Amino acid sequence: MGAEIRSSLLRTLYPKPSTLYPVVMEPEHKSFFKVHKVLSVLPLLLLSAGGLYYILKHTPEDTSGKAPQDFNFGRAAPAASSVPSPAAEEAKSIAALDIQGSPEFKSQVTRALKLIWLSDRDTFLFIKRYIFVIRNEDKTDFHMDGGLPVAAISNAHAFRSLPWCAGIIAHQAFHSYAAFSAKKKKKAGRAPPPPGASADTGKWPVNPLNFDFTSLDSLLAMEAKASRFQAKVLREIGASRQEVNEVVKRKPRDFKPGHDGKYQLLVKP
């Protein structure tokens, strides 16, 4: 009896595991279907994750108002090309001429030369070849100073208008051309013709101007040719009809369209 009571008490205090935690065994076919569902959903989950990663990676960042962190603001931009630009070539060509005078005079002459440069490059190069100095003086004339050909221009001619200033420079360049051509008469060479004239030097005499410095007529003939060249330049750069006609219709002994002030006409005996 006591043994039965003790055995009953032990069963009460220490029951079997299966009594406290009953094990529920699922049927095998239900477990198979759950695994199949997980495997069928897995590719969709991977595809969604890949799409989200792509969108986040390729979305542009809003950089408005932000400066690049690694940009060197003090670094000079690389040169676009080793070939000089037309503007740089123009500035270099004009700077080769020695313009002497007030800042206003230098500015006026520079802009006048620019008109010639833009309208006819050959005419500009002709002027550059025969005029080294453009100087503001109380007269308008051509003369040599220390072996350098100088175009002297008064304020009246320089500041009348930009085209007129350019025409005056061309006029004095032709006088310089005449002077150098006369010197070449003693040598074998022929001086090149001015812009617009025939390049066939065989048809030109040794002195293209037929200028022998021996008579007033030769001086007047030279002035007429210088004026024609001046009128040509005025037309090319768009001068007014009044300015062009003033040069074209000048009287043979009227030197005012190309000269002013006190100067001397020297004629050899």
Encode pLDDT of 37-84 as tens digits. Answer: 666 666 777 777 776 666 666 555 555 444 444 434 344 444 544 555
**pLDDT of amino acid 88:** 72
Model confidence at 85, in pLDDT bands (50, 70, 90)?
low
- Structure pTM? 0.58
At 73 the pLDDT is: 36
Both structure tokens of 149: 């050909």
Q: pLDDT digit string (tens) for 229-244?
A: 999 999 999 999 999 9
Q: Give me the phi and psi of 120, to 5 degrees please.
A: -155, 105
pLDDT tens-digit series, residues 172-220: 999 999 988 877 655 544 455 555 555 444 443 333 333 444 467 788 8
Predicted confidence at residue 134, as pLDDT, reads 96
pLDDT digits (tens, 9 = 90+) for 138-149: 999 999 999 899
Residues of the chain above pLDDT 90, percent: 40
Distance CA 14, CA 31 (A): 33
Residue of 168, 182, 141 whose CA lies nearest to 229: 168
Summarize pLDDT for 14-48 with one digit per residue, the tens. 555 555 455 455 555 555 556 566 666 667 777 77
Asked if residue 122 has pLDDT above 70, the reply is yes
> Worst-scoring range by mean pLDDT, 50-59, 151-160, 200-209, 259-268?
200-209
Q: pLDDT at residue 150 above 70?
A: yes
The 10 Å Cβ neighbour count of residue 218 is: 16
Strand order of the β-sheet with 133-136 is 98-100, 133-136, 148-153, 141-145
Question: What is the reported pLDDT for 269?
Answer: 47
Could you give the CA distance from residue 164 to residue 180 in angstroms, rounded to a whole number?
25
State the pLDDT at residue 86. Answer: 64
For the record, the structure tokens of 261 come out as: 């002030």
Q: What is the mean pLDDT of the chain?
A: 74
Predicted pLDDT at 153: 96
The pLDDT score that the predictor gives to residue 91 is 72
Least confident of 47-51, 100-104, 257-261: 47-51
